[in-house]
Structure 1
Amino acid sequence: MDLSFLPKLPLTLSYPLLFGVLLIAGMLGGEAARTIRLPRVIGYVLVGFAIAPMASAVNMGPLVEEARIFVDIALGLVLFDLGRRMDLAWMKRDWTLAASGLAESIATFGFVFASLVWLDFPVLQSGLAAAIAMATSPAVLLLAVEDHRADGQVTERALNLVALNSLFASVLVTILLASVHYQVALDLDTAFLHPLYLFAGSLVLGGAVATLARVLARMVEKSPELHFALIVGLVVGAVGIAQALKLSVILALLAFGLFVRNDERRHDLLNVDLGRASRLFYIVLFVITGASLPLSSFETAGWIAIAFVAARAAGKFVGVLTFAPLGGLRLGQAISLGAVLMPMSSLALLLQHDIAKLFPEFGQTLAAVIIASVIIMEIVGPIAVQWGLRHAGETAPLPAVPANAVKA
């Protein structure tokens, strides 16, 4: 009897199966966290921590690694949405908003750089780590804002500050790559041309995709459904082009969102809500992030990671508190805003990954510190955001716990 029509054992794991497993497992983990009043993000990440050893045991590790295409798509959606929320008109009206973003970024860089150098960390790696530390996780903040239906001064300022510090971090890492090039290869031409290519090329790509978005938006019906499909298609396409051209995905997608938001001539593209549909990719993003964070990084980083996290927190609070009185923020609001800027997640890992991909040996020690710090902030960061939004009084009332859940 010919049984060749039957599947061969063991079954081959596929991308759709992996995506489905990660999505369902992450969703269940998020709901478990919500029932005990913790942010859903923590549940997603803890599921990732749990999946990592199981994936290794069943030889699924390479598949998880290759499934980072889902991470790239999710980050593309996050970065576009973040860039789209950067309100340049507000910054023109209120100079303290941009000043706060610059101050908290500079203070974070300075505090982290000084603490790492004091701990005898190499100077150039300290600079790169400090530049990465400037960035707040946009995905954690956007999910928290959506989950808590947050709205108000602190929420809107936080979204703009996160867009600014992500931009500053990306630009500074790009500039510091010139020093890495020179230290590793002593090639002045490459040290100058590569960062220039990354910066200018990424901005041009973001502007070109934004222009294409406006052209296509004028050709189709102005309906939220069609414009949602258009935006998602262009975001995924922009991620692919940036990767193919070896440009910065972060800068390109931030620029795309920024140019779309701040188009003073006309508003062809509808401001559609990406939150609910893109949550599918956000969940998988955090599960894969958790699964890719080796706890062994603490063995290499040790107290350096603790110093990194503490110095970063100090920089965020000092920078925000410096301009809070001038911006009309009360002390309580300023403290809430500082707490909301705490998360550090996949964006930091992407910046670190770009450095490690170019300079594997140079990035090993740097990677250990960044990964160990991200592990800490994957738990502490979402809790800080939740507390900050609630302390500012900008969240919707907590839903009542069902009676049957109490009895259980």
Structure 2
Amino acid sequence: MPDFQVILADLGWPLAIALAWLLGEFIHRWTQLPRISVYGIVGFLLSQAFPESLTSGASSTVTTLANFAFGLILFEFGYRINLRWLRINPWILVTGLVESAATFGVVYLIATLTGMPSLTSLLLASLAMSTSPAGVLRVINEQNSSGQVTERVLHLVAINCVLAVFVFKVVVGFWVFETSGSLTQAVSHSLIELLVSAAMGAILGFLVPAVLRRLGALAQDGTIAFALGVVLLVAGSSAFEVSPVLATLTFGLAARHSRVAFSRTERNFGGIGELLTVLLFVFAVSTLEWDRVVAGAGLGMVLLLARFLVKTASVTVFAKVGGISWRKGMLTGVALAPMSVFVTLLLEQTRYMGIVLVDELAALAAMTLVLEVLGPIFTQRALIWAAETTKKEI
């Protein structure tokens, strides 16, 4: 007779994904809440109830699939970014730089004032700069949103994510130097890593479209080719210990500017992409522990409020000079709330270097859990209030 615990361990992730998807569909239809918020709630509750069944190491199959899912979203996200728009309206770039720097500064200041070590405060501040491309893009696609607020949100997220990765890697480099004393090792995990990541994505971004033109089957095979490119990039990033975040984002940017379009019917990379997305958002909170969430709840809530107010205020200040109304500027800032998936996978990737930072950042656990649920709701409401969705306000 098979052992029940063994069966539960084997079926843990498939059952969790199936349950999260099913509840996501039902609750979305009843309440119009974003599906990914439901996935987060279900994932966290199941991971606390059955921790041994939803385990995931740095090199586990689940972690690899989550990285593939995030890579697909980042590619599609990068594909939506128009660099020419930043040249035409440089105030968008200025807004992104200011809101990222202001968020970093305020979070760092609050963290140090509470007695947190300087290096830990720097790590926390660098992660707080970011907005999750996965959360934002999924809500935009779910709402079929388009317009000034939508486009500005996409571009601001791209800016603050690149800055967050850059600063995070530099801080981790200092962390490595402080613990190992090796300046060479520290540099290799920061600037060089970022350059290699961007180069890998850019090369593939020009290579894949060239192959598709040669085959003459852009309309039929484009989505598959790009998905395979993402798989290769994520696997290659793991093998060479570089950033899959920057690599896949650059891949999407380069592919867009090679003027190759994949079919709109394959948004989110079709059914497989949808399935991997459920896994991604369940995985993002399965790494959290209730004790750590409770321990960091007080500081986490203060930092969340500060992050939200700073991002919203920074974007609102530059609204008029950037060509939109104060109201739309404020709504753009509100839509930058999601953070969780980006932070979770960035921290998971440091495990490849033998650095475990989660224990140092209890406040981040609370921030991640809250924004996994509330972040997408803020984005959804902001897009609805901006009248850029096809769905009526309820």
Q: CA deviation at 1:274?
A: 3.0
- Corresponding residue for residue 403 of structure 1: none
- Corresponding residue for residue 316 of structure 2: 321
- Corresponding residue for residue 179 of structure 1: 174
CA RMSD of aligned residues (A): 2.4
Q: CA deviation at 1:187?
A: 1.9
Scaled by the length of structure 1, the TM-score of the pair is 0.88
Identify which of 13, 23, 30 aligns with 1:29: 23
- Corresponding residue for residue 395 of structure 1: 389
Q: 2:75 aligned with 1:80, yes or no?
A: yes
Q: Deviations over 1:160-211 (max 9, x none)?
A: 1111111111111112222112211222222223313311111121122113
Amino acid of the structure 2 residue aligned with 1:220? L
- Corresponding residue for residue 385 of structure 1: 379
Identify which of 188, 209, 222 aligns with 1:193: 188
Q: CA deviation at 1:294?
A: 1.5
Q: 2:30 aligned with 1:48, yes or no?
A: no
- Say if 1:356 and 1:364, in contact at 8 Å, map to a contact too: no
- Corresponding residue for residue 233 of structure 2: 238
Q: Tell me how far apart the structure 1 counterparts of residues 325 and 169 of structure 2 sit (CA, whole Å).
A: 36
Question: In structure 2, do the counterparts of structure 1 residues 280 and 70 end up closer, same or farther at CA, with 3 Å as the change threshold?
Answer: same
- Say if 2:241 and 2:352, in contact at 8 Å, map to a contact too: no
Q: Tell me how far apart the structure 2 counterparts of residues 397 and 229 of structure 1 sit (CA, whole Å).
A: 30
Which range is displaced more, 211-220 or 100-109? 211-220
- Corresponding residue for residue 338 of structure 2: 343
Larger Rg: 1
Q: 2:56 aligned with 1:60, yes or no?
A: no
- Corresponding residue for residue 251 of structure 1: 246
Which range is displaced more, 284-293 or 325-334? 284-293
Matched positions, count: 388
Question: In structure 2, do the counterparts of structure 1 residues 92 and 245 end up closer, same or farther at CA, with 3 Å as the change threshold?
Answer: same
- Say if 1:324 and 1:331, in contact at 8 Å, map to a contact too: yes
Question: In structure 2, do the counterparts of structure 1 residues 249 and 338 end up closer, same or farther at CA, with 3 Å as the change threshold?
Answer: same
Identity among equivalent pairs (%): 27
Q: Deviations over 1:93-123 (max 9, x none)?
A: 0111111111111111111111111111111
- Say if 1:132 and 1:352, in contact at 8 Å, map to a contact too: no
Scaled by the length of structure 2, the TM-score of the pair is 0.91
Amino acid of the structure 1 residue aligned with 2:392? L
SS in 1 for 2:290: coil
Question: In structure 2, do the counterparts of structure 1 residues 63 and 371 end up closer, same or farther at CA, with 3 Å as the change threshold?
Answer: closer
- Say if 2:139 and 2:380, in contact at 8 Å, map to a contact too: yes
SS in 2 for 1:102: helix
Q: Tell me how far apart the structure 2 counterparts of residues 49 and 362 of structure 1 sit (CA, whole Å).
A: 20
Q: CA deviation at 1:131?
A: 0.8
Q: 2:306 aligned with 1:330, yes or no?
A: no
- Corresponding residue for residue 220 of structure 1: 215
Question: In structure 2, do the counterparts of structure 1 residues 17 and 227 end up closer, same or farther at CA, with 3 Å as the change threshold?
Answer: farther
Q: Tell me how far apart the structure 2 counterparts of residues 182 and 307 of structure 1 sit (CA, whole Å).
A: 31
Amino acid of the structure 1 residue aligned with 2:380? Q
Q: Tell me how far apart the structure 1 counterparts of residues 96 and 307 of structure 2 sit (CA, whole Å).
A: 14
- Say if 1:352 and 1:370, in contact at 8 Å, map to a contact too: no
Q: CA deviation at 1:260?
A: 1.2
Q: Tell me how far apart the structure 2 counterparts of residues 260 and 221 of structure 1 sit (CA, whole Å).
A: 16
SS in 1 for 2:166: helix
Q: Deviations over 1:15-49 (max 9, x none)?
A: 99556433321221212321123221121111112
Amino acid of the structure 2 residue aligned with 1:117? T
Q: Tell me how far apart the structure 2 counterparts of residues 42 and 363 of structure 1 sit (CA, whole Å).
A: 22
Q: CA deviation at 1:14?
A: 10
Q: Tell me how far apart the structure 1 counterparts of residues 99 and 56 of structure 2 sit (CA, whole Å).
A: 39
Question: Which segments of 5 or more consecutive residues in structure 2 lack a partner in the other structure?
Answer: none
- Say if 1:23 and 1:284, in contact at 8 Å, map to a contact too: yes
